[in-house]
Amino acid sequence: MSNPLESRVIELGKHVVRMTTAAGSGHPSSALSLGHIVGTLMYEQMRYDPCNPWNPASDRLVLSEGHSVPIVYATYADLGGVVGKSPAAKRALTLDDLKTLRELDSVLDGHPNPAEGFPFFDAATGSLGQGLSVGAGLALGARLSKIDKRIFVIIGDGESREGQIWEALDFIIDHKLVNVCPIFNCNGQGQADYVSKQQSADVLVGKLRAFGYDVQDVDGHKMDQIAAAVAKVGKGSMSIAIVARTQKGWGVDSLKDKSNHGKPLTAAQVADAEASLDKVAAELKLSKASGPAPKPPMPPSANGPAKKDKIAVMPFAEAVAKTGMAEAVAKNKLSTRRAYGAALVALGHADERIVAVDGDVSNSTFASLFGKAFPNRFFECKIAEQNMISVAAGLSAAGYIPFASSFAKFLARGYDQLEMAAITRANVKLVGSHAGCSLGADGPSQMSLPDLAYFRAYTNADDGRGNPALTFFHPADAVAAYRLTEMAANINGLCYVRTHRPDVPLIYPQDATFKLGGCGKLAEGNAVTVVGSGYMTTLALAAVRELEKAGVKCNLFDAYCLPMDAEPILSAARKANGVILTVEDNFAGGFNAALAEAAARSGDVKVFAMTCPRIPKSGKDGDIVLAALGLGVQNIVARLKELARG
Amino acid sequence: MSNPLESRVIELGKHVVRMTTAAGSGHPSSALSLGHIVGTLMYEQMRYDPCNPWNPASDRLVLSEGHSVPIVYATYADLGGVVGKSPAAKRALTLDDLKTLRELDSVLDGHPNPAEGFPFFDAATGSLGQGLSVGAGLALGARLSKIDKRIFVIIGDGESREGQIWEALDFIIDHKLVNVCPIFNCNGQGQADYVSKQQSADVLVGKLRAFGYDVQDVDGHKMDQIAAAVAKVGKGSMSIAIVARTQKGWGVDSLKDKSNHGKPLTAAQVADAEASLDKVAAELKLSKASGPAPKPPMPPSANGPAKKDKIAVMPFAEAVAKTGMAEAVAKNKLSTRRAYGAALVALGHADERIVAVDGDVSNSTFASLFGKAFPNRFFECKIAEQNMISVAAGLSAAGYIPFASSFAKFLARGYDQLEMAAITRANVKLVGSHAGCSLGADGPSQMSLPDLAYFRAYTNADDGRGNPALTFFHPADAVAAYRLTEMAANINGLCYVRTHRPDVPLIYPQDATFKLGGCGKLAEGNAVTVVGSGYMTTLALAAVRELEKAGVKCNLFDAYCLPMDAEPILSAARKANGVILTVEDNFAGGFNAALAEAAARSGDVKVFAMTCPRIPKSGKDGDIVLAALGLGVQNIVARLKELARG
């Protein structure tokens, strides 16, 4: 006897066809391959309440192959699931809403997008390969919150070519996250062609077993087989992976060919497609679906981590003492990366939501201090930065505040993951250490140089809630690193903290305060107005002090934040000689661009830049490399003299 | 009886210890774990001529775990291998040179860096996980050039956590590249900790077998076992992977603990380390190494692909006819991505070095046209963008000119790979399609928005040869796409071509010419000076035409290149009302920043920007999304009216 849900899947298939045709775009063939899997999960196996998608106790579904989303929208609408950007703005989705797919004012975005009002999802997906890592982050969060929930992640077979999937599979085993279940949708077709044999169901089964999984090899259109496999998740000591053999365009003959990826039917083809689905229903002897959608099993009640309005850390002196840095402070030499470690520990004491992930460099980023103080809140991701960033996005969705650290350079391979976190409006804090060229001896393969330009682009975009899509912090000394890390923790949104390798003197008093969008004023004068940032502020300060001895007094600002309020700097420059010099350790496009854009709007201040002018090479230490690039103290002095003369 | 090379490895170990101590940084413990592997390859098994590292017939070594490079430097110096930035500047490396490791004027950069004068290597490495993909690209190039050479890639066990390794392993099987051999250095230690069990030799063996490899499981300190495994490479129909069980800090007791990653010994410890190595030699009953280094076996002679000074494509009309686009041209509607496909085909006809890679979206990027015309020069990389970019770097090292295409958004996960290609000075052309927000219905997960800021940072940096580290092209119409793609092919260095999804009218005459650093002048007037770029030029032109009807005449420039010569635009603005408006479909930091920086230096022109102001969402089509973002034609008209009034 057939499962009564099978007839509902037929109807879901019709909705998929109609909604994508109405939208004029979308991926009906991929969605159709998932009808039985999504139906089994959302109608029957997942414990959740469609009327309360914000319930932290719910089982979750991450649709890593985001383009298949119409099948989830259809099922959720059939259940009358709740949509809206917040519980206050909630409403039930109707089957009628499905035809608004991809419209500007619809919650049904082209790909999964919780931020636009579809809270059933935890993460924006659609750039492939990232969902399993998000699921792993959700599972870590559930474990921390002592919530027994399961996370299902649907991944395309072609998508399983993305290396990040294999990073996540390793991570899940390392951390024994048996509650996360990857489901591979093996329909055999990619976009441009069939999938490689390397991504075939048979080879996938072998790979997954070698990675340590209990593999359930099922017919992805047999709901009993899917249900039996799903029911095993979280029950034993092994992680379950489901390999589901499916057919692209299932039920609709005109969508089965490989040329149909991402192509909706024309309006004229819809009736044929419906008839094709009805014919399959008749062949399978399914009775018509009728009555309301079946209620999925309810989750047990549970709470996520407690929220606080403000996270306040202990005084700087106390934190550095606690983390063994008092001597370095006394010697007036403490790197910003080390001070970041102290800040992270202090944050950990202040709020249980603070968690940290790192990619096998925690003894360089100093996330290791947090790992030592809070071993259950530190998650080693090993050398796999993409997975690390998406895990952080998952932890954020679970209510935690994750700090994700690596060398700034290595984070560049995760910019796509960062972009998806930005679209999700995830509360992730990225921390890139060893930034710029002050790293010196290790050479350019370890130097992050275009990152300031990249991140500045995000700081100028709004997140749709009136906040920047990303807030960027660039501490020049240990006090700034401590306080700016605290500030990052208090922002509900994506932040980036950029730290440096070398020890630097303390520029700010230990009780200095910092302001969002602000900058520090370190010297005053009527000659040139100098703007330093990060490590370069130390060099700029040395240059300004040297010029002071020669009787040339400059303004010196430390720009530690983007987006920045440029006006105080422009205003100071107007009162001086009308000339600004920015001094940076990165390629162009950072603070120089921010000030130049502001100056070019006002038209009454000139802005000149010193930035990293070329691809560097190794040198014995950072100062040697900086000098070779024309960014040493003496280079700054010389440039300031030129600009002071006008 | 011991292999006589073993005693040389003892001496190499001493060099490794001494040179890293002299440098004050470096990774002696990692290097020591590789002595026998590198020794077996470089003294005995690899067919190459240390006096001619540029010989295309040579077997190649890619040191993916770049931090271990001191052992390669030591071996190469022992062989008197040739260094220098070009054959004209060549000289033999001496053992004495080793103590210049990491110095500013040394060819021995902190991590492998062929561009700084170490041509034994083909690619800069040091950011992990990328070498095997480079090796695969070298192997593809060798096959195209009909050269029977082998490529050995040394990968750390901890490094094998990087997903890109598994992308490359799949790619090698797909393309039957049996001449590439990954060698996993399983010393069991990462940087911050021991490696995960998931990266242990035992688990790795199982994983590699599941991925389709003939796995050779060897003791990495037994040269006979290594040699026997290496000798199998390229002999059968299966790809060989070597799992070598090694010891970190081999031979030096004080470097074996896990806390020793990346730490050289102090000068005082060097003698002990040498004694420790001598003690091992005594235990193994090795005789002292003496005499000149053994000559490695010479490669057969062979040539790479033929070089041309200038690659000239057929006329535009001929190319669009050949690729079935004549009708679209006649209708005056052809997307830049499609015109890119025509250009790629035309380039393929003009030069056999042109090759293409794509990530399962060739029917969207239109690289598929090249694949159809030149199936043996098109390499499908499937959904694995990181591998794709590094494969392209390998193809470039083999003398080819690779075009690597995907959605611009998905290339973001390969920015680290791009950065390593930039350090290598690889001749790679990246092509990102569906860029900006004109994509519309698919939503933000498919939109590339910070890319202009990111790439602009590179265009402002010098590559050390007087060229930009990257040249950026942004065609507004099909003619521009055709000619700018041709221009990219003619530049010896990294390029990025940004194309768009929608069909656009032809703005330029079919015989238009384009200039490096130039821009097109599309309208003239004395009101505002408008600068469009890419898809936005079409909208800016419509706005300017509309204003013309109202009697307001604007200058309109199409900025199609970075770095750009800003002076013609500034000069036109000075002659008009002194105000520039840039119109872009991306986050801030692109052409606006370029012009604002130039204007802020000159101080006599104001620059205002229209950029993508927030994270977008889906809309039915691109123009709806652009209008919702304030970037529609009417928004531009309104802004121009404001600025014209002053």
Q: What is the pLDDT of residues A290-345, one digit of tens each?
A: 889 999 999 988 999 999 999 999 999 999 999 999 999 999 999 999 999 999 99
A362 contact residues in B (CB cutoff 8 A): 192
Would you state the pLDDT for residue A645? Answer: 84
B519-645: CATH topology is Rossmann fold (3.40.50)
3-state SS class at B521: strand
User: Cβ B456–A456 below 8 Å, yes or no?
Assistant: no
Do residues A251 and A280 lie in contact, with contact meaning Cβ atoms separated by under 8 Å? yes
pLDDT bin (cut points 50, 70, 90) of residue A1 is low
How far B374 CA sits from the closest chain A CA (Å)?
A: 16
- Most B CBs within 10 A among A194, A357, A620, hence the mutation to make, goes to A620
Domain B5-283 coded CATH 3.40.50.970: yes
pLDDT at B1 over 70: no
List of residues 6+ apart from A180 with CB closer than 8 A? A132, A135, A136, A138, A139, A150, A151, A153, A172, A239
Residue A498's nearest CA partner among A537, A467, A469 is A537
Would you state the pLDDT for residue A69? Answer: 98
Handedness of CA B579, B580, B583, B587 (dihedral sign): negative
Q: Please tell me if the domain spanning A5-283 has the same topology as the one spanning A316-504.
A: yes
Q: Is the peptide bond before A28 cis (omega within 30 degrees of 0)?
A: no
Residue A352 among the catalytic residues:
no
A410 contact residues in B (CB cutoff 8 A): 127-128, 416
Percent of chain B exceeding pLDDT 90 equals 97
pLDDT at B2 over 80: no
d(CA A599, CA B70): 48
d(CA A469, CA B580): 27
Task: Cite the beta strand spans of A381-433 per DSSP E.
Answer: 401-407, 429-433
Do residues A561 and A471 lie in contact, with contact meaning Cβ atoms separated by under 8 Å? yes
- Strands B555-559, B519-523: pairing is antiparallel
How far A405 CA sits from the closest chain B CA (Å)?
A: 13
Task: Cite the beta strand spans of A232-341 per DSSP E.
Answer: 240-245, 334-335
B607 contact residues in A (CB cutoff 8 A): 597, 600-601
d(CA A178, CA A172): 8
pLDDT per position as a tens digit, A371-427: 999 999 999 999 999 999 999 999 999 999 999 999 999 999 999 999 999 999 999
b vs e for B163-202, b when ≥16 Cβ sit within 10 Å of the residue's Cβ? bbbbbbbbbbbbbebbbbbbbbbbbbbbbbbebbebbbbe
Please state, rounded to an integer, the average pLDDT across all residues of chain A: 97
Question: Per-residue pLDDT averaged across B301-309, rounded?
Answer: 92
Would you state the pLDDT for residue B288? Answer: 85
Of the candidates B161, B586, B605, the beta carbon closest to that of A170 is on: B161
pLDDT at B615 over 90: yes
- Most B CBs within 10 A among A173, A586, A615, A639, hence the mutation to make, goes to A615
Would you state the pLDDT for residue A258? Answer: 84
- In terms of CA atoms, which chain A residue is nearest residue B22? A620
User: Cβ B454–A452 below 8 Å, yes or no?
Assistant: no
Question: Per-residue pLDDT averaged across A72-94, rounded?
Answer: 97
Distances A213 to A198, A268, A307 between C-alpha atoms, Å: 18, 46, 36
A159 contact residues in B (CB cutoff 8 A): 383
Q: Locate tokens 């990225």: which residue? A: A430
d(CA B286, CA B471): 55
Do residues B230 and B180 lie in contact, with contact meaning Cβ atoms separated by under 8 Å? no
pLDDT per position as a tens digit, A154-168: 999 999 999 999 999
Kindly name the residue from B385, B419, B567, B642 that is annotated as catalytic: B385
User: Cβ A102–B587 below 8 Å, yes or no?
Assistant: no
Question: Per-residue pLDDT averaged across A220-230, rounded?
Answer: 98
How far A610 CA sits from the closest chain B CA (Å)?
A: 12
d(CA A22, CA B185): 55
3-state helix, strand, coil in chain B (%, to 5): 45, 15, 40
Fill in the DSSP letter of residue A142. H
For B645, counting Cβ atoms within 10 Å of its Cβ (0-12 exposed, 13-18 middle, 19+ buried), the class is: exposed
Would you state the pLDDT for residue B426? Answer: 98
d(CA A132, CA A115): 19
User: Cβ A174–B196 below 8 Å, yes or no?
Assistant: yes
Q: Where are the alpha helices (DSSP H) in B524-564?
A: 535-549
Q: What is the CA radius of gyration of chain B?
A: 27
d(CA A636, CA B119): 35
pLDDT bin (cut points 50, 70, 90) of residue A260 is confident
User: Cβ B612–A161 below 8 Å, yes or no?
Assistant: no
pLDDT at A78 over 80: yes
Q: What is the CA radius of gyration of chain A?
A: 27
User: Cβ B600–A601 below 8 Å, yes or no?
Assistant: no
How far B358 CA sits from the closest chain A CA (Å)?
A: 10
A419 contact residues in B (CB cutoff 8 A): 409, 412, 449-450
Percent of chain B exceeding pLDDT 70 equals 100
d(CA A587, CA B438): 28
- How many CB atoms lie under 10 A from the CB of residue A247? 18
Which two structure tokens, joined as six digits, stand for A351?
Answer: 């709020």
Whether ipTM exceeds 0.90: yes
Q: Locate tokens 């593999």: which residue? A: A215
The residue type at B85: K
Question: Per-residue pLDDT averaged across B552-565, rounded?
Answer: 98
CB contacts < 8 A (A, B): 417
Kindly name the residue from A44, A65, A159, A385 that is annotated as catalytic: A385
Please state, rounded to an integer, the average pLDDT across all residues of chain B: 97
Of the candidates B166, B199, B461, the beta carbon closest to that of A614 is on: B461
Query: Which CATH superfamily is A316-504 part of?
Result: Thiamin diphosphate (ThDP)-binding fold, Pyr/PP domains (3.40.50.970)
B99 contact residues in A (CB cutoff 8 A): none
d(CA A502, CA B630): 44
d(CA A263, CA B143): 37
User: Cβ A461–B613 below 8 Å, yes or no?
Assistant: yes
User: Cβ A413–B127 below 8 Å, yes or no?
Assistant: yes
d(CA A413, CA A73): 32
Would you state the pLDDT for residue A3? Answer: 83
Residue B243 β-bridge partners: B184, B217
Do residues B401 and B489 lie in contact, with contact meaning Cβ atoms separated by under 8 Å? yes
- Parse chain B into domains and list their residue ranges: 5-283, 316-504, 519-645
List of residues 6+ apart from B279 with CB closer than 8 A? none
Would you state the pLDDT for residue B565? Answer: 97
Residue B536's nearest CA partner among B499, B585, B581 is B585
Would you state the pLDDT for residue B291? Answer: 87
Question: Per-residue pLDDT averaged across A251-280, rounded?
Answer: 94
- Most B CBs within 10 A among A134, A419, A467, hence the mutation to make, goes to A419
The residue type at B71: I
Q: Is the peptide bond before A50 cis (omega within 30 degrees of 0)?
A: no
- In terms of CA atoms, which chain A residue is nearest residue B586? A457
A464 contact residues in B (CB cutoff 8 A): 614-615
